[in-house]
Amino acid sequence: MKYSLPAFLFASMLSFSSWAQLSVQNLTVENLSNPIGIDKAQPRFSWQLNSDKKSIKQTAYEISVRSGKKLVWSTGKISSENSLRIPYGGANLESDSKYTWQVKVWDNQAKAPALATANFQTALLRHDEWKAQWINSGIEADSVNGIVPHLRKTFEVKKPISSATVFVTSRGLYEASLNGKRVGDAFLTPGWTSYNKHLQYQTYDVTKQLSTGKNAVGVTLGSGWYRTKLAWDNHKNLYGKETALLFQLHITYADGSEDWIVSDNSWKSTASHILFSEIYDGERQDLRKESKGWDLANFDDSKWQNVKIASFATDYLNASVNEPIKKHETFKPVKVLTSPKGETILDFGQNVVGWVKFNISGKAGQMIKLYHVEMLDKHGVPYFENLRSAKAQAHYVLSGEPNQTIEPHFSFFGFRYVKVEGLEGKINPEDFTAVTLYSDMKPLGSFECSNPMVNQLQKNIQWGQKGNFLDVPTDCPQRDERLGWTGDAEVFSRTAAYNFNVNQFFAKWLKDVSADQEPDGAIPFVIPNVLGKVTGAAGWSDAGIIIPYNMYVVYGDKQILQDQYASMKAYLTHVRGLAKNDLWNMGFQFADWLSYRVDDSKSTIGQKSAVTDVYLVAQCFYAYNIELMIKAAKVLQKNEEVADYEALLQRVKKAFQQEFMTASGRLISETQTAYILALQFDMLPESLRQNAVNRLVENIKSYDYHLTTGFLGTPFLNPVLTRYGQNDVAYKLLLQDTYPSWLYPIKSHGATTIWERWDSMKPDSTFQDPGMTSFNHYAYGAVGDWMYRTIAGIDTKEADGAGYKASIIKPELGGGLTFAKGSYLTPYGKIASNWKIEGDILALEVEVPANTESTVYFPTSDISSIKSNGVALTDLKQEGKWISKTFGSGKYAFTMKIK
Ligand code: BGC
Given the residues 30, 242, 323, 756, select the one marked as catalytic. 756
- Ligand 1 centroid distance, CA of 808 (Å): 34
Closest-lying ligand 1 atom to the alpha carbon of residue 772 = 7
State the pLDDT at residue 235: 87
Distance CA 353, CA 777 (A): 12
State the pLDDT at residue 136: 97
Given a cut of 50, the residues of the chain with pLDDT beneath it are 1-3, 5, 8-17
State the pLDDT at residue 899: 64
Please give the backbone phi and psi of residue 198, each rounded to the nearest 5 degrees, phi first: -150, 105
Q: Is 778 close to ligand 1, i.e. is its CB under 6 Å away? A: no
**Nearest Cα residue to atom 8 of ligand 1:** 475
Strands 841-858 and 806-809: parallel
13 CB-near residues (< 8 Å, 6+ apart)? none
Q: Is 134 close to ligand 1, i.e. is its CB under 6 Å away? A: no
- Ligand 1 centroid distance, CA of 475 (Å): 7
State the pLDDT at residue 14: 47
Estimate to the nearest angstrom the gap between the alpha carbon of 543 and the chain centroid.
14
Closest-lying ligand 1 atom to the alpha carbon of residue 476 = 8
Pocket test for ligand 1, best of 468, 488, 492, 778 (most atoms within 8 A of CB): 488
Q: Is 845 a catalytic residue?
A: no
**Nearest Cα residue to atom 1 of ligand 1:** 475
Question: Helix 639-660 crosses helix 672-680 at what angle (to 10 degrees)?
Answer: 150
Q: Is 488 close to ligand 1, i.e. is its CB under 6 Å away? A: yes
Burial of 235 (0-12, 13-18, 19+ CB in 10 A): middle
Distance CA 462, CA 477 (A): 15
State the pLDDT at residue 490: 98
Closest-lying ligand 1 atom to the alpha carbon of residue 525 = 5
**Nearest Cα residue to atom 9 of ligand 1:** 475
395-445, pLDDT tens digit by residue? 999 999 999 999 999 999 999 999 999 999 999 999 999 999 999 999 999
Given the residues 481, 490, 847, 853, select the one marked as catalytic. 481
State the pLDDT at residue 256: 96
Q: Is 593 close to ligand 1, i.e. is its CB under 6 Å away? A: yes
pTM over 0.85: yes
SS3 of 606-640: the string is CCCCCCCCHHHHHHHHHHHHHHHHHHHHHHCCCHH
Answer left, alpha or beta for residue 756, where phi above 0 means left and psi between -120 and 50 means alpha: alpha
Helix (H) or strand (E) holding 744: helix 744-749
Provide the Cα torsion 416, 421, 427, 432; round to 10°: -40
Closest-lying ligand 1 atom to the alpha carbon of residue 488 = 10
Q: Is 242 close to ligand 1, i.e. is its CB under 6 Å away? A: no
737 CB-near residues (< 8 Å, 6+ apart)? 453, 743, 744, 746, 747, 748
For 96, 303, 387, 746, 893, the CA distances from 479, given in Å and listed in that order, are 41, 40, 4, 22, 49
Closest-lying ligand 1 atom to the alpha carbon of residue 590 = 12
State the pLDDT at residue 634: 97
Q: Is 480 close to ligand 1, i.e. is its CB under 6 Å away? A: no
- Ligand 1 centroid distance, CA of 526 (Å): 9
- Ligand 1 centroid distance, CA of 85 (Å): 36
For 352, 493, 499, the CA distances from 458, given in Å and listed in that order, are 15, 15, 10
Q: Is 475 close to ligand 1, i.e. is its CB under 6 Å away? A: yes
Q: Is 798 a catalytic residue?
A: no
The candidate with the shortest Cα–Cα distance to 298, out of 214, 231, 236, 174, is 214
Q: Is 481 close to ligand 1, i.e. is its CB under 6 Å away? A: yes
**Nearest Cα residue to atom 3 of ligand 1:** 485
**Total residue length of the chain:** 899
Closest-lying ligand 1 atom to the alpha carbon of residue 779 = 9
Other beta carbons within 10 angstroms of residue 895's beta carbon come to 20
State the pLDDT at residue 197: 97
Distance CA 339, CA 343 (A): 5
